[in-house]
Amino acid sequence: MNLSGKHILLGVSGGIAAYKSCELLRLLQKRGAEVRVCMTEAATQFVAPLTFASLSKCPVYLKNGAAEARPFQHIDFPRWADIYLVVPATANVIGKFAFGIADDPVSLCFMSCNCERFIAPAMNVAMYNSPAVKRNLEMLRGFEKTHVMESPAGFLACGEVGQGRLLEPAQIVEYLEDTSYELRDTNDELRVTSGYQVGEIADDVIEKNGRKVLITAGRTEEAIDPVRYISNRSSGKTAVALSAVFLANGYDVEVVAGPMEAQFPGGVQVTKVRSACDMHDAVMERLADADVVIHCAAVADYRPANPANEKIKDSRSQLTIELVPNPNILRGCAAARREGRAKEGQTLIGFALETDHFEEHAREKFEKSGADALLLNAPVAADSGFGHDSVRFALVEHGKPIPPMEMGSKVSLAETILRFCSEKIDAQRESI
Measured distance between the N- and C-terminal CA atoms of the chain, rounded to whole angstroms? 39
**Which residues pair with residue 196 across a beta bridge?**
193
Q: Which of 90, 13, 88 is nearest to 45 (CA)?
A: 13
Q: Quick check: is 421 catalytic?
A: no
Residue of 22, 38, 58, 158 marked active site: 158
Alpha-carbon span 48 to 224, nearest angstrom: 52
Supply the residues annotated as catalytic.
158
